[in-house]
Copies of this chain bind each other. A is one copy, B any other.
Amino acid sequence: MAQKKVAGPEIERLIQLLAKLPGLGPRSARRAALHLIKKKDQLLVPLAEAMGIAVEKIGICSHCGTVDTSDPCAICSDPRRDPKVLVVVEDVADLWALERAGAINACYHVLGGTLSPLDGIGPDDLNLAALITRCEAEELEEVILAINATVEGQTTAHYVMDQLAHLNVNVTRLAHGVPVGGELDYLDEGTLAQALRARTRF
């Protein structure tokens, strides 16, 4: 049901746009807009500024496909990164998650999605050609496919694997198993079966 518009057009437009953010519906967008207007100096002004700066400065890294204020991005232009290891992720959010984990000091390549024929997403819609060019041009030792363990993610991983088969590079993927802190009782059978099959010596 379309909500009756009761605030002025400027406020309604702000609410409408906020409602497009993931995690905010029409009701919470209204609360957010009101919160912003009430905290004008502490929140609305700085947020408007931060967004203006984002509009102006943030772009896609032409090398790896992540978002940053410089091109090539801070990661691609960091000399301390191991240039022989390339981690392939679906999305920038996954790159950030891996960086937060801080477990690897490698370079990245962001595909920008997964193959999904039903949604009309084919290889040409992903940042795939650039990945293959990179793998051919750079002297890589290992390509880690850190792609989500979903059906689409795994299909995409297999496709990428095939595309890289002619190159002399190790292609690996993340281990499947019990999440750290996870309880067996809450895990699905697929994960448990994988964790058993890939068991390691204690």
A interface list, Cβ under 8 A from B: 3-4, 6-8, 10-11, 13-14, 17-18, 20-24, 28, 30-32, 34-40, 43-48, 50-55, 57-58, 67-70, 74, 91-93, 95-96, 99-100, 102
Contacts and interface: CB of A to CB of B under 8 A. Distances in A.
A58 B3 CA distance: 21
A38 to B, nearest CB: 8
Contacts of A11: 54, 58, 67-69
Contacts of A32: 21-24
26 contacts: A3-B100, A4-B102, A6-B99, A6-B100, A7-B96, A8-B68, A10-B50, A10-B53, A10-B69, A11-B69, A14-B51, A17-B43, A18-B21, A18-B47, A22-B28, A23-B24, A23-B28, A23-B31, A30-B93, A34-B91, A34-B92, A34-B93, A36-B51, A37-B58, A47-B51, A48-B51
